[in-house]
């Protein structure tokens, strides 16, 4: 397993929160000092807008910004830097595709295919598009391994299937869809179908090679892979991007404007209207460097070993009182364990654990259709990353014992302030 003592020393939050057991990296990851330093470097040394400034600090900011694009291109195995578009997050990337590509190619009586396990960001946009276009919204089921039913996929794809949008890794089940196999099946049935992959949970945890996957578009987020918030990455095939209209209009995406006509800039700028999150994009490169230094294969191996340990310990400790949502086999999962504990409400569980410095997620995790299919309204979710270890597993076990002690007495009153939204995503 990874040397988590050394890794944790790179994350200042652990020095400032001495009692912290962070098990919510699926929602957002913690940030190493190198990322924080790079963000600070931009704001203190060359804070300026990019591309248009002819003065040195603007040129420096532009170089740093575009260096991130180059590093991300290599990180995901893309061919051209201009195929990497910076957005605000994965949700914006998927909506960009819905409003530009989807609105253009989906017509009445066509169909779009997704799965029941999708995050709302990859479910609702396509649902809304199909309602608008009077197209069919086809929802694939999942098998006992927690992945898309391939036989059902093969049956559902036809000549009128325009888009297939699927998650790489479920943010609830932690299961990994066989994307290469899915692409081959779908493209064999309909060579013109566009395949979009939500890789928000994949990019931080396993080696992402977009060209090898065979999909047409892949979306993920900086903040789940040790980088700053406010940055999404959308990779797509260059020829498809060139055919698509812009998503937004404004500064930087314009080639020429006159009263009579406006023409748009080349890729990637055509899809990057307005001032971006410059400092955050610049700092993302440090997150990529950090992940590459540790090694994605090493991270994946570490998470599997830790998930195996956690499942064994939790099942041995609590038996049938601890029910995993999805498969109970670590070989079929990444470091995500969604669960139901006795008949206790997930919000109560998360609240009591939170008071012990243990951070988990509670709710439907922005995957309400999946929870509805499983006949539960909500679940609790712990998720592991490169800074977690067996000690964290023991802490949550002890924390759940305290949850049981408190809730079986019936005296707990949630401390969550009502002005906050119920946890979900």
Q: Give domain status of residue 366, yes or no.
A: yes
Query: Are 381 and 310 within one domain?
Result: yes
Q: Are residues 103 and 182 in the same domain?
A: yes
What amino acid positions are annotated as catalytic residues?
Answer: 366
The pLDDT assigned to 262 comes to 94
Instruction: For residues 336 and 384, state if they share a domain.
Output: yes
Contacts of 333 (CB under 8 A, 6+ apart): 146, 173, 174, 175, 176, 304, 307, 326, 327
In a domain? residue 59: yes
Cβ-based neighbour number of residue 14 at 10 Å: 16
pLDDT given at position 414? 61
Number of domains in the chain: 3
Q: Please tell me the predicted confidence (pLDDT) of residue 19.
A: 95
Within-domain flag for 425? no
Q: Of 222, 240, 255, which residue constitutes the final position of a domain?
A: 222
Query: How high is the pLDDT of residue 413?
Result: 64
Residue 95, domain member (yes or no): yes
Residue whose C-alpha is closest to residue 145's, from 173, 180, 122: 173
CATH of residue 379's domain is 3.90.1150.10
Residues 215 and 363 in one domain: no
Q: Which of 86, 209, 228, 170 is nearest to 369 (CA)?
A: 170
Torsion of Cα atoms, 199 then 280 then 386 then 120, to 10°: -30
Q: Which domain holds residue 306?
A: 4-30+295-407
Q: What is the CATH number of the domain that holds 134?
A: 3.40.640.10
Query: Measured between alpha carbons, how far is 249 from 231 in angstroms, rounded to an integer?
Result: 19
Neighbours of 2 (CB within 10 A): 20
Judge if 112 and 62 occupy the same domain. Answer: no
Are residues 135 and 237 located together in one domain of the fold?
A: no
pLDDT at 415: 57
Residue 419's pLDDT is 46
Q: Can you read off the two tokens belonging to residue 408?
A: 């079986």
Measure Cα distances from 344 to 163, 203, 302, 340, 409 in Å.
Answer: 40, 33, 30, 8, 12
Residue 422 lies in a domain: no
- Closest C-alpha among 392, 390, 386, 393 to residue 8: 386
- Of the candidates 242, 276, 294, which is a domain's last residue? 294
81 shares its domain with 103:
no
Residues facing 221 on adjacent strands: 232
110 and 200 co-located in one domain: yes
Residue 412 belongs to a domain: no
* Contact call for residues 252 and 269 (beta carbons, < 8 A): yes
Q: Does the residue 423 lie in any domain?
A: no
Residue 82 is predicted with a pLDDT of 97
Q: Are residues 309 and 379 in the same domain?
A: yes
For residues 231 and 344, state if they share a domain.
no
Comparing CA positions, the residue from 367, 357, 291 lying closest to residue 336 is: 367
Same domain, 183 and 259: no
At residue 421, the pLDDT reads 52
Measured distance CA(225)–CA(227) in Å, rounded? 6
Long-range contacts of 99-103 (CB under 8 A, 24+ apart): 99/247, 100/244, 100/245, 100/246, 100/247, 101/163, 101/194, 101/217, 101/240, 101/244, 102/126, 102/129, 102/162, 102/163, 103/129, 103/133
Residue 424 belongs to some domain of the structure: no
Q: What is the mean pLDDT of each run of 10 residues along the chain (425 residues)?
A: 97 97 98 98 98 94 98 98 98 98 97 98 98 98 97 98 98 98 98 98 98 98 98 98 95 92 94 97 98 98 98 98 96 97 97 98 97 96 98 98 92 54 51
Q: Are residues 339 and 363 in the same domain?
A: yes
């Amino acid at each position: 397993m990874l040397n988590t003592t050394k890794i944790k020393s790179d994350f200042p939050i652990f020095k400032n929160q001495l009692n912290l057991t962070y098990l919510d990296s699926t929602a957002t990851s913690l940030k190493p000092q190198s990322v924080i330093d790079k963000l600070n470097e931009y704001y203190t040394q060359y804070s300026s807008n990019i591309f248009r400034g002819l003065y040195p600090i603007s040129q420096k900011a532009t170089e740093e910004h575009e260096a991130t694009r180059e590093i991300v291109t290599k990180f995901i195995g893309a061919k051209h830097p201009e195929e990497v578009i910076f957005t605000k997050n994965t949700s914006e990337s998927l909506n960009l595709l819905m409003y530009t590509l989807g609105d253009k190619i989906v017509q009445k009586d066509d169909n779009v295919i997704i799965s029941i396990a999708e995050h709302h960001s990859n479910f609702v946009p396509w649902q809304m598009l199909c309602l608008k276009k009077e197209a069919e919204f086809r929802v694939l089921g999942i098998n006992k391994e927690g992945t898309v039913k391939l036989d059902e996929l093969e049956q559902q794809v036809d000549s009128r299937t325009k888009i297939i949008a699927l998650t790489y890794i479920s943010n609830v089940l932690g299961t990994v869809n066989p994307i290469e196999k899915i692409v081959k099946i779908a493209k064999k049935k309909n060579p013109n179908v566009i395949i979009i992959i939500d890789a928000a949970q994949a990019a931080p945890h396993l080696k992402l090679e977009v060209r090898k996957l065979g999909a047409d578009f892949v979306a993920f987020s900086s903040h789940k892979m040790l980088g700053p918030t406010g940055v999404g990455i959308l990779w797509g095939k260059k020829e498809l991007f060139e055919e698509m209209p812009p998503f937004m209009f404004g500064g930087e995406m314009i080639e020429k404007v006159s009263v009579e006509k406006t023409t748009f800039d080349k890729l990637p700028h055509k899809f990057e209207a307005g001032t971006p999150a410059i400092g955050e994009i610049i700092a993302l490169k440090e997150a990529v460097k950090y992940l590459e230094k540790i090694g994605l294969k090493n991270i994946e191996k570490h998470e599997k070993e830790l998930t195996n340990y956690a499942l064994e310990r939790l099942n041995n400790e609590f038996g049938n009182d601890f029910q995993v949502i999805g498969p109970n086999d670590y070989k079929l999962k990444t470091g995500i364990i969604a669960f139901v504990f006795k008949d206790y409400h997930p919000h109560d569980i998360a609240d009591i654990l939170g008071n012990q410095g243990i951070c988990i997620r509670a709710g439907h995790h922005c995957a309400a259709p999946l929870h509805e299919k499983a006949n539960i309204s909500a679940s609790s979710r712990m998720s592991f990353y490169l800074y977690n270890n067996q000690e964290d597993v023991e802490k949550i076990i002890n924390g759940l014992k305290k949850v049981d002690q408190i809730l079986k007495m019936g005296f707990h009153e949630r401390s969550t302030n009502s002005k906050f939204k119920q946890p979900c995503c």
